[in-house]
Amino acid sequence: MLGDFVEISDVDLDQSRRFLSRFIGPGKAGTSCALDCGSGIGRVSKGVLFPVFERLELADMMEHFLLHAHEEYLGDDADRVETYYCYSLQEFTPPKNKYDVIWMQWVACHLTDHDLATFLAKCKRALRPNGVVILKDNMARNGCKMDLVDSSISRHLDVMRTIIHKAGLEVVALEKQEGFPDVIMPVWMLALR
């Protein structure tokens, strides 16, 4: 999931944990259940979400990633995964009013603008009171940039804000990921309600 940049994993996880902590606690999101969208083998689940939430659910379209997460990578924490959803996000409708946090990292770039807006609207309905969607992804420096190797699209923050608005959500906080090599496209974290 990190391609040729596995050395940035700790920096990524550390800043993600700090960003998430801003939205958890009294008068904020609870710690009952989180959903990791585009979870892969569960790197973010293990490093960011399990230390905070009682239960998790993972969604990824690759069955072998979910199996690896359950059988090996997550270890004893796999017992705290309530459900593994093997769907593309275009096909997935999260249960209503279930999640304190929905985490989407490096997966929005694989959805069309329409599919992303539709999925974010579903996420809004899936949040519990005070819940938040955290979207972390590459953001183009201007306009949109298509990656022909993996068919992903990186959007400028203004384009992403437009999609988020169409989904009926608002950006309540945003933060640029620090500590990544300059050759990597800027990565931003957005908290949505």
For 69-85, the pLDDT digits (tens) are 999 999 999 999 999 99
Domain ranges of the chain: 30-192
pLDDT for 73? 97
Tell me the pLDDT tens digit for each residue of 86-122. 999 999 999 999 999 999 999 999 999 999 999 999 9
Classify domain 30-192 by CATH number: 3.40.50.150
* pTM attached to this predicted model: 0.94
3-state secondary structure the chain: CCCCCHHHHHHHHHHHHHHHHCCECCCCECCCEEEEECCCCCHHHHHHHCCCCCEEEEECCCHHHHHHHHHHHCHHHHHHEEEEECCCCCCCCCCCCCEEEEEEECCHHHCCHHHHHHHHHHHHHHEEEEEEEEEEEEECCCCEEEECCCCEEEECHHHHHHHHHHCCCCEEEEEECCCCCCCCCCEEEEEEC
Average pLDDT over the chain, rounded to whole?
94
Q: Span 42-68, mean pLDDT?
A: 98
